[in-house]
Chains A and B, each alone.
Chain A
Amino acid sequence: MGIEASRRGFLLGSGAAALVIGFSTKGVLAAGDAKALDINPFVTIDADGSVAVVVKHFEMGQGTSTGLPTLVAEELDADWQQVRVVFAPSDASRYANLAFGGQGTGGSTAIPNSFMQYRQAGAAARDLMVRAAASLWGVEPAEVTVEQGQVKAGDRQAGFGELIGEAAKLTPVAEPQVKDPSRFRLIGKGHLPRKDSLGKTTGKAIFAMDVKVPGMVTAVIKRAPRFGGKLTSFDASGAEAIKGFLGAKALPNGAGVAVFAKSTWPAMQARDAVTAEWDFSAAEQRSSDQMMADHVALLDKPQHLARPGTDFAATGAAIDEAAKVVEAEFQFPFLAHAPMEPLNCVIQPTAKGVKVIDGCQFPGITHPTVAAILGLEMDQVEIETVYAGGSFGRRATPTSDYHAEAAMAFAVLGGETPVKLVWTREDDLAGGYYRPMAAHRARIGLDAEGKILGWDHRIAVKSIIKGTPFEAVLVHDGIDHISIEGVADTHYAIPGMSVGLNDAETAVPVLWWRSVGHTHNAYAMETLIDLAAEAAGKDPLDFRLDLLAGDDKDRSRLRGVLTLAAEKAGWGEPLPEGRGRGLAVHKSFNSYVAEVVEVSFADDLVKIEKVTCAVDCGLAVNPDVIKAQMEGGIGFGMGAVMRNEITLAEGEVEQFNFPDYEPLRIADIGAIEVHIVESAEAPTGVGEPGVPPSGPALANAIRAVTGKRVTQLPMMKSGIDFA
């Protein structure tokens, strides 16, 4: 889909009332005294000339609070300095994600779904400024130009702020003309400073954890030590002596005890002093080793045939006839997202109901969840979105889990006291909603020339989507597409490929984790391709290019990033002793990413020396943000495959804090070089696509330098030690 083809009405998903011009300062309608003009749901111009862009996607670091304003500033011809950011309220009638329908951020959709909408919002604002100037100055609109926030005609000149009074008399156009991409001066042009850099480097940026409202108390929750456990009784007498402790109450759903205190530290201390009894009859009591064994056992008998044309008998027969056979079984552990800011939010009473203050990823779910728990109408609940200290998927649960806890805590306290719910790091790591554990088994048959004859691939994983409101959209014929994405729909030309899927069952809640199913599926596919290339006696790059031959657009874009990354990394050039390279390529979220990893191996220790990345995400709106997302995605993915896992013993999580779930550190990773493919295609996602190739590219580099193939993650568990 080209840029032009993606054009659509920018008020789609916006209420018709949005076209009505109103003044932010209610009641002040004298044109000359206007303090601000709401041009549309996305753009407000203040009398001082500053342009407020209402950003409908929360900022978790991925750059939405820079990217969406870029689109507006481009079309409005605003000066970047005059643009400021306002996070949208919860209102799906105006701020829905056009990729989902509801209001929320995820799936690397922020720029793709906003691209035309925010450009049109900016273009409508520009058109209004032009017509206002024309009207004031008695000239034709065609004579008016706008450049870096200055509106000019002949020797007349005005800033936007001077024009809002006149603009208020005009009606904005519903279908504004956007620029031809050849006239872009911000989109794709160099480095526009991030809008959140200043606040985040001076300590002034406000995250939900930093919110304090008058009379607020802090709540921490004592939860069941096993998933699915129910509270039977508790005793808070031990907490009475703690200064600042206010009380403890059972949550109405039996999931735990809310412990209240005047501030955070006494709340944490008091929770440690509260004892509780639990009913574990419906709880997960297995160890993660047992659960993995149960996953692996499922692979013997695929429950769903997950790729069109799947025929295990025929595929098996082809492999049995093959000259060479590659076999591998993969085990992927549970992974926690562990965003730097532990989960938290504030809920406070308002005149009409409540306000939730949160780095809110899915207002479309949080809003009705909080309303339902508190017995309120939708219009009695408002959500104020602030910066989120990371998410990686964790803040977007289909159950709105931590907001639901906050609402329950607020309710059991009487519904009149503002409550800040705070999770600790221990709560975060033991709290579930993990990347599901997964097992894969593959058999690949090749002929004497190295051509693939058959590929039998089986996956066992708990469905993320089944049982959630997303099931109707993302589950077809019983198959959760997320479980098989990146394998069943691979773009490699693989004859005789059969893919099986089993839904594993466990009470452990699972969730999308930055790049979702691709996290394990790309690892399996891209390490298997290397093993097949080795069996075929071919170079991993050449082998991939052969399987991606042809005019197909996906294949051609995959070839594009592969060849670019390989060229920039010096693929094929000799390396000194003790060095090795690995590569991987993957399409996810409509973007194409290839990565070449160079590692060193000395004294039995592996070190990541350099990563070269090529990304094709269509038109690059903010190249520096795209690079940052690739750098971050690579580090996030590699840190996880190197040493992260959540394990359970008798149903209890064994990791307590970062020392048991060691994040990637600065010394773990060397230079990362990112190259962006020039493209005029519609922009696609960048938050997640850097992750999938990172693990397998590292594994392939480790294979090259140590001879070991790592199929059981994390790598440290498979005997790989890192410098």
Chain B
Amino acid sequence: MSDASLALRQVGYTNKAFWRNPASAFFTFAFPLMFVVIFTSLLGSGDLTLNGVTINLSTYYVVAEAAFGVISATYSNVAISTTFSRDGGILKRTRGTPLPAWAYMSGRVIHAMILAFILVAITVAFGAVFYSVTIPTGLPLLQFVITLFVGGLSFCALALAITAIIPNADAAPPIVNASILPLLFLSGIFVPLGDNTPQWIITVGTIFPVKHFADAMRAGFLPHVMVPTPTGPVQAFPFEWADVLVVALWGVAGLVLAARYFSWEPRR
């Protein structure tokens, strides 16, 4: 069997184990879908002023929770499940077989990416059916898909990097949540960062990858919303490659750290 087909085969086993584990199926998959339903039900009829224009809060939340879905399926899921496998000696056993390390890791990453795409598809379909969210087409769709790819892979890399500071499986969920939850709040995933958000929050959001990722995703849904300026109307939510680049740089940093510090053996 070729290494690539070994990696794909690994996706199948990862997938089986994922759905049979109630904790991963619930927290990784059901959680982001619950959030989009709760936020849109609570606040979806309202409006939000952002970048000088008024948009539906329902659109805002559909995009934000789609971003949350990607982060949940890649960052949280990969970090926690990999730590459990490391602690349970599954990674060490795999190292004792001829399966190349990259094939094993690709299996996990590909599975996480598939989950992320499914979560985004369900979230966006929900938004389209119940809140008339416009699904991206044409160039914005392409940019959106690239953003998803780069974002998902980058968050997978960061997930593998953070496992290096997680001492054991019990510590995995709290450490992962502590590293991502504050950032989700400071990046407008749960509470929109309107035009009068304190500067320090904007600054924090600008340093880390979550806000850039969500901004790049949002551009795909609102390409035609214009804001008037003295020189004529411009896009209120332009797609910026710089956002994708920041996310990718974080991903590369994660990959470098993971390559240096990732452990296949339980830490004692």
Are both chains from one complex? no
* Interface residues, chain B, with chain A CB atoms under 8 Å away: none
* Interface residues, chain A, with chain B CB atoms under 8 Å away: none
